Amino acid sequence: MKSEQILRKDVSVVQHGHILIDKQWQPSGVTAQFTQDADTYHARYFNRLDFENLLDRMLSLAGICRTARLTILDIGSGGGSSVFAAAKLLPKSHIVGSDISPQLLEKMAAFTASSDEFRDRVSAYCFDLHKPFFRQDSFDAVIGCAILHHLVDPYAALTNVVFALKEGGKVILCEPLEAGNLINAIIYEAVITLQREVGTSVDERLSKLMFAMRCDIFARLGVPEVKPYTRDLDDKWVFDPTYLAGLAKQLGMKNVEVFPVMQDLTTIFETTFRSFLTESGNADIVLPAKVLGLLREFDSGICSSLKSRFCSTGIFVFTK
């Protein structure tokens, strides 16, 4: 796909390795882990999730036709996990990967260039999503996996995304939800209390992690109110349906639907807890029986209809 087909007339890009980068690009609002420490971030998170299963659920919930020839924008592509999953699931579509980090995006683009499967179907642009970049009506759908909660101004970023989306198109996002994270905060506090009861035989990292995560969750409440420390946070927000409905209205979208990211809600609290340990590099922590009992009490004591509201991560489908 040629740049002149999708880029605004006032946007200029330069070739940098395998990517096209905005001439006015600046690393504003992006932390060092995405730039100087991109190698570490990529190694830690590239294979962290089964993105093909995640994208499969996102596309199904949004009603995206798998066999159509679509032009898809992937925002916050990083090293390309979501891009490559989308390219596999939408075999006739062109995927435009984008990110503010040239270091991460170059990893995606270098792999793309070496792949017969993706070379002609994936392109890569580095720019700041808060600024206008693409032409109006350029994309049939927009995908974003864990990107919106990193942005200081979600509305400003999505304004540009919606401008580039065709009428009837979908913006499909996977992001943290407030209610589920508040339940997690209650669980983390209970784990700290239980660990005091169990004593020093338990790995001390567990209570430190629980305390840190509670602080992190409470620091991210209240989108879009920017606090003095918001810009210094990597994960800046958790979202709630009321905010999302207002955001959809501000953006001129027809509606927004919110779904739990998990299909099987049977053990969402235990699964989420174990996933957090793995993602934080602490999969080796042995959970005491009382902690396991607590997690399973939450899972068995809350019905499925409520659990769907208490999933810590959701899929948001905006329709233009």
The number of beta carbons lying within 10 Å of the beta carbon of residue 271 is 15
- When divided into structural domains, the chain yields a total of 2
Distances (CA, A) of 130 to 35, 141, 154: 18, 18, 8
User: Per the domain annotation, does 256 fall within a domain?
Assistant: no
Co-location of 151 and 184 in the same domain: no
Co-location of 165 and 184 in the same domain: no
Query: Residue 151 has which token pair?
Result: 């942005």
Model confidence over 11-48: pLDDT tens digits?
999 998 999 999 998 766 554 444 444 454 444 554 55
Model confidence over 74-130: pLDDT tens digits?
999 988 999 999 999 999 999 999 999 888 899 899 989 998 999 999 999 999 998
Co-location of 191 and 202 in the same domain: yes
User: Per the domain annotation, does 129 fall within a domain?
Assistant: yes
Co-location of 183 and 207 in the same domain: yes
State which amino acid sits at residue 15: Q
User: Per the domain annotation, does 253 fall within a domain?
Assistant: no
User: Per the domain annotation, does 273 fall within a domain?
Assistant: yes
Co-location of 157 and 220 in the same domain: no
Residue range(s) defining the domain that contains residue 115: 3-176
Co-location of 295 and 160 in the same domain: no
**Residue 308 burial by Cβ neighbours in a 10 Å radius (0-12, 13-18, 19+):** middle
User: Per the domain annotation, does 319 fall within a domain?
Assistant: no
Co-location of 16 and 112 in the same domain: yes
Query: Residue 133 has which token pair?
Result: 């970049």
The number of beta carbons lying within 10 Å of the beta carbon of residue 282 is 14
State which amino acid sits at residue 160: N
Q: What angle is formed at CA 21 by the lines to CA 12 and CA 151, rounded to 5 degrees?
A: 105
pTM confidence score? 0.92
Co-location of 172 and 183 in the same domain: no
Beta partners for 142? Answer: 73, 171
Co-location of 62 and 155 in the same domain: yes
Co-location of 202 and 281 in the same domain: yes
Q: What is the model's pLDDT at position 26? A: 73
What angle in degrees, to the nearest 10, is found between the helix axes of 154-163 and 241-251? 40
Co-location of 104 and 226 in the same domain: no
Q: DSSP letter string over 133-190?
A: -BPTT-EEEEEEES-GGG-S-HHHHHHHHHHTEEEEEEEEEEEEBHHHHHHHHHHHHH
CATH of the domain at 97: 3.40.50.150
Co-location of 85 and 170 in the same domain: yes
